[in-house]
Amino acid sequence: MDSIKSKFTFFERLFLWRRMNFSERKFVLMISFVVGVLTAFAGLLLKWLIHQIQYVLTHHFNIEGSNPLYLVYPVIGIFLTGLFVRYIVKDDISHGVTKILFAISKKQSKIKAHNTCSSLIASAITIGFGGSVGAEAPIVLTGSAIGSNLGRLFSINSKTLMLLVGCGAAGAVSGIFKAPIAGLVFTLEVLMIDLTMASLLPLLISCVTAAGITFAISGTGSVFEFHLQDAFMVNKIPAYIFLGIFCGLVSLYFTRTMNSLENIFRRYSNPYVKLAIGGMMLSILIYLFPSLYGEGYDLIHLLLNGDGPKEWNTSMDRSLFYGHENLLLLYLSLVVIFKVFASTATNGGGGCGGIFAPSLFLGCISGFIFSRIWNIYNCLNIQLPEKNFALIGMAGLMSGVMHAPLTGIFLIAELTGGYALFMPLMIVSVCSYLTIIAFEPHSIYSMRLAKKGQLLTHHKDRSILTLMSMDTVIEKYEEYLHAEMDLGDLVKTISSSRRDVFPVVDHQHRLVGILYLDNVRPIMFRQELYHRFKIAELMSEPVARLSINDSMDVVLITFDKTNAWTLPVVDGEGIFMGFVRKSHVLTNYRKTLADFSDE
């Protein structure tokens, strides 16, 4: 007991010392630096763990044929991850970026403390054993969780907490990719953190700190080595446009196929059934296409730096395609088709990972395939540099899948040092983004939340409504009326209440009608009528019923359509939950807007 008290006293004194010596703004800058340091080390630790596990498991594999252990390792990885999540974490840790978006919009930027390490451990096991996903989304969730929990430790308000969540995400992207600009842009573009003078400096501090520490420990070289093959030329612009469209279509295929496959896995609640389906699918695919093992960065290095067909053909090592040089394009095309199956099987079967790496992986292969086919058929009598197009394709896929063209442009430029190709990166990223938004208005991260009205955007009005919830505006009731009660019972209820509207419910508390005080005022003082009128005769059917799960956007639309000022709220079974008043919603809206806009 004394130790608990002393710990509490320590944090209480620390909090008071901070209040007395640092303004809120200065303290946020200090915290953003700490967030950058911690996320950098988290990213380095995750990458080290993955590489160590992969080396131990696969360094002895024969390159001249398939390896049966590819059928075993991924299942073991998913199984171990599932056990870790179910029995140690005891919480869902999948879809890292989606969880961050949900926390920002619906949980006042509060992320559970276990997310500071659980995603890191789970993804290291999954990817190390061959899971065909990326480590970046889990480390982004880890970074955001670090920012959220540091902020909560010092009782920082919800708006500043949102900024610290963004600092954690920005630091994670910056550190793991050695790309500080991309980290900043990712936070603004994907997490929808508004760029203001109050938010810019903390985000930059986290990005620069995380990248600086990563550079100091792992060297200043780019994540992917790249040597420019040919400089940008105007006559290749049509090829860049077509590549952007192609990347947009591949992104569309990836997004929709992943959603369809995830829906299949959601049908099963038994984790072992999911493991059997996901593990079998993943193992077979990796056995046939070893390039699908893990993040796939080795294949990216090969396509970006391979010197002609002889080196490119080594991408088929350890597979059934080994020695069949004429099947390279077929092999890579099948990898593009089945990568989404492998990634979804990994997460659906119980693994943990993100789609950063799959996007880069698919983009690199797509750009390479596009340029090889173009050159084979000598389209427009222009020869394309395959290495350049493999690089640019990475930006195209990332822009399409994440709906983040700026992130795609800056991330690929910083990842590879390919700044000389800035114009092609811009063309391909924009064309890919424009192609996919014609079919999908939301990214693979945000579409689940957008369907539920839970997505925070840069649209201020919608953002305010998203930050509000039914819990903040619903008015709970303890006074209930029943249809068989008479006017006398109503008068007794009114005499002890200040309400002007009452719910009429059955004995299971399902709403059957509402009674407005104004409608009974002319007869409520006539005692001779007390036993003549039943509540069933006096009540009226509500013009609309709100659901307890409705977003504030739906609530206001319903008020506007019905011209009502008070509406009842029910749950999925029709149980009465309370009333919502339009005046209360508008008052809460103004308060939230003031808090959100305050610098």
Q: Which residues of the chain are in CATH 3.10.580.10 domains?
A: 462-597
Q: Which residues of the chain are in CATH 1.10.3080.10 domains?
A: 21-218, 234-445
Q: Which amino acid is at 419?
A: Y
Cβ neighbors of 66 (< 8 A, separation 6 or more) are: 287, 288, 290, 318, 319, 320
Residues in the chain: 599
The edge-to-edge listing of strands for the beta sheet with 546-547 is 474-475, 576-581, 566-570, 546-547
pLDDT, position 448: 64
pLDDT, position 66: 67
3-class secondary-structure state, position 40? helix
pLDDT, position 118: 93
pLDDT, position 599: 46
Give the phi and the psi of residue 578 in degrees, each rounded to 5: 155, -175
Q: Which residue from 193, 437, 197, 504 is spatially nearest to 184, judged by alpha carbons?
A: 193
- pTM higher than 0.85, yes or no? no
Is residue 194 a contact partner of residue 181, using CB atoms and an 8 Å limit? no
Residue 281 CA to residue 347 CA, distance in Å, equals 12
Structure tokens at 346: 């990994």
DSSP character at residue 476? -
- H or E element, residue 547: strand 546-547
Burial of 327 (0-12, 13-18, 19+ CB in 10 A): middle
* Architecture field, domain 21-218: Orthogonal Bundle (1.10)
Helix, strand and coil percent figures for the chain, each rounded to 5? 65, 5, 25
Regions of the chain short of the pLDDT cut 50: 1-5, 7, 457-459, 599
Residue 244 CA to residue 429 CA, distance in Å, equals 6
Chain centre distance of CA 590 = 28
- H or E element, residue 502: strand 501-505
Residue 91 CA to residue 170 CA, distance in Å, equals 24
Q: Which residue from 335, 342, 351, 336 is spatially nearest to 280, judged by alpha carbons?
A: 342
DSSP character at residue 68? G
Residue 408 CA to residue 194 CA, distance in Å, equals 19
CATH topology of domain 234-445: Clc chloride channel (1.10.3080)
- CA torsion 187-189-193-196 (nearest 10°) is 100
3-class secondary-structure state, position 513? strand
pLDDT, position 226: 82
Residue 299 CA to residue 74 CA, distance in Å, equals 19
Statement: 462-597 belongs to CATH 3.40.50.150: no
DSSP character at residue 111? -
pLDDT for 129-184, tens place per residue?
999 999 888 999 999 999 999 988 887 877 788 889 999 999 999 999 999 999 99
Strand-pairing partners, residue 546, are 569
The residue written with tokens 């992104």 in the block is 251
Is residue 345 a contact partner of residue 130, using CB atoms and an 8 Å limit? no
pLDDT, position 398: 94
Q: Which amino acid is at 536?
A: A
Q: Which residue from 236, 9, 46, 218 is spatially nearest to 137, judged by alpha carbons?
A: 46
How big is the chain by its Cα radius of gyration, in Å? 29
Residue 66: Cβ within 10 Å count: 18
pLDDT, position 1: 43
